[in-house]
Amino acid sequence: MIVDTHTHVVAADATRYPLDALEPAGGWYRDVPISVEGLLGLMDDARVDRAVLVQAVSAYRFDNRYVLDSARAHSDRCTSVACLDVAAVGAAATLRRLTEERGARGLRWWALGDEPLDEPRDVWDEVAALQVPVVMTMFASRLEELVSLVPRLPPVPIAIDHCAFADFSIGVPPELAALAEHSTVVLKVSTITLERLAEYGDVRDGLAELAACFGADRLMWGSDFSQTHDRTYPELAELARFAVSRLGDGARAAVLGKTALRLWPELAP
């Protein structure tokens, strides 16, 4: 089974689901919008079985209605990760409502500025109570900070989007490798990550190095489609298959699907 852990969908019905663009974001959501139905068709073409629909903050900010509605309408193949302003009054209660009433199965923690990574504590406590993963969207400049904070956070899965956009010019950077000692942390080896690995050598070797550092059972693939759209979706899936091709059978299965199923067991057949 192959699970794409990082997809972004955009509604065809802009009246029901109006854009609320976060500029500058490249306008991908206008140039190549893909509905959930369109994504599922492309997944069939690419032999991808399941998808995690991640709230497209650049297109909708914190209006999660489309990503939640899409996952519920296609719950046999999709699950959803919502994003909210964690600093807003009542954020923890909002997360509970989105999870219990709307079916959200994860929180995208948006930390591309200088937002605290460990506060508000009540939001982290709510994540722990709900038993959903946190998808951390952050830059590599804050990895050392996260390393120091993880021991004080609740023991919930923390998935690092795009490996924090790390620089792999010298292999796995030490600030990223330092997270390997914390078993709750997993890495999304998205298309963005694979392209960064390929800048400095064979992507298959780079992925093998990541797997040696973290264990393949703590890596999971994500296409980043349709925000990443410089090639077709089947080509993105083929890049993932190529990248894991030097791993053993069990390790390939982990990166392409089994790790994701551990975080989102509702996607299992």
- Domains annotated for the chain, with CATH where assigned, are 3-267 (3.20.20.140)
Predicted local confidence at residue 24, as pLDDT: 62
> What is the spatial distance between Cα 250 and Cα 216, in angstroms, rounded to a whole number?
8
Using a cut of 0.95, tell me whether the model's pTM lies above it: yes
What confidence score (pLDDT) does residue 34 get? Answer: 97
Q: In degrees rounded to 5, what are phi and psi of residue 152?
A: -100, 0
Q: What CA–CA distance (Å, rounded) separates 10 from 46?
A: 20
CA nearest to 82, candidates 112, 108, 111:
108
182: exposed, middle or buried (C-beta count within 10 Å: 0-12, 13-18, 19+)? middle
Instruction: Provide the 8-state DSSP code for 177.
Output: H
Whether the ω angle into residue 24 lies within 30 degrees of 0, i.e. cis, is yes
- For residues 12 and 202, what is the distance between their CA atoms, to the nearest angstrom? 38
Which DSSP category does 24 fall into? S
Q: How many alpha carbons lie under 13 Å from residue 35 in its C-beta half-sphere?
A: 10
Give me the residues paired with residue 52 across strands: 79
What residues contact residue 246 under an 8 Å CB cut-off, 6+ apart?
204, 205, 207, 208
Give how far Cα 191 sits from Cα of 20, 77, 188, Å: 25, 21, 9
Looking at residue 25, its pLDDT comes to 58
- Which uninterrupted H or E stretch holds 222? strand 219-222
Q: Which two tokens stand for residue 88?
A: 């807003």
**Residue 27 has what pLDDT?**
86
Q: Give, in order, the Cα–Cα distances in Å from 108 to each of 80, 122, 132, 222.
A: 10, 16, 11, 15
What's the CA gap between 97 and 118, in Å, rounded? 21
Q: How far apart are CA 82 and CA 187, in angstroms?
A: 18
Taking alpha carbons only, the member of 254, 227, 222 closest to residue 239 is: 222
Task: Give per-residue pLDDT as tens, 187-213.
Answer: 999 999 999 999 999 999 999 999 999
Q: Cβ distance 211 to 221 under 8 Å? A: no
Question: Residue-wise pLDDT tens for the chain (269 aa)?
Answer: 999 999 999 999 999 999 998 766 578 998 889 999 999 999 999 999 999 999 999 999 999 999 999 999 999 999 999 999 999 999 999 999 999 999 999 999 999 999 999 999 999 999 999 999 999 999 999 999 999 999 999 999 999 999 999 999 999 999 999 999 999 999 999 999 999 999 999 999 999 999 999 999 999 999 999 999 999 999 999 999 999 999 999 999 999 999 999 999 999 99
